[in-house]
Amino acid sequence: MAVWDRDEGGLIMLRPLAGYETAVVAESAGALRIEHSTTQDPAGPRDALQLILTSAQAKTLAGALLRMAEQIERPAPPGVLAN
């Protein structure tokens, strides 16, 4: 399991997604550019991470994102506080 970066209060440090783009490179790999705000302000300064993925990694990531979206859309069980 990943070790998340945390702030002084122990909360996971998160930044707003500002955009993303995908491309096929060299006809054998995928490129993924993820743009994010460098502050909590979605309109703030931006930075980006550019990644290369195999088709297997792209499929695994797509599945993980879909499962996350489905979990977000499910209501929390009674008595459980949502984030």
Indicate the average pLDDT of the chain.
Answer: 91
pTM: 0.78
Residue segments in the chain with a per-residue pLDDT below the cut of 50: none
Query: For position 33, what pLDDT does the model report?
Result: 98
Query: For position 47, what pLDDT does the model report?
Result: 95
Query: For position 26, what pLDDT does the model report?
Result: 86
- Alpha-carbon distance 50 to 22, whole Å? 10
**CA distance to 21, 26, 45, 67, 83, per residue, from 73 (Å):** 24, 37, 29, 10, 13
